[in-house]
Amino acid sequence: MVPGSGSFRFGPAGLRFNVLKTLRRFFKAYLHHKIRCRSDSDKQSRIRHLEKEIQTFGENIEKLKVGD
């Protein structure tokens, strides 16, 4: 294990896990940025839609992790 590397795993499965974790983090940040750029009247329905997108994205990541 490499010191100070948190969730580092060896091999292709570990690499895919780290890549997916990073992609999910950037995806969530991007969606929150889209929320901030919206007007207040449209914001609540947009937040609900984006929360569903994030949940679907998370479920897809879980399916990929199970496929190891």
pLDDT score of 53 = 86
Give how many domains the chain has, as a whole number.
1
- Domain containing residue 53: 11-66
Average pLDDT, integer, range 34-53: 74
Domain presence at residue 1: no
Instruction: Answer whether 7's CB lies under 8 Å from 18's CB.
Output: yes
Residue 25's pLDDT band, with cuts at 50, 70 and 90, is: confident
Domain presence at residue 52: yes
Domain presence at residue 32: yes
d(CA 50, CA 30): 10
d(CA 33, CA 12): 31
- Whether residue 4 is predicted with pLDDT greater than 80 in this model: the reply is no
Domain presence at residue 2: no
Which candidate, 55, 56, 34, 52, places its Cα nearest to that of 43?
A: 34
Domain presence at residue 29: yes
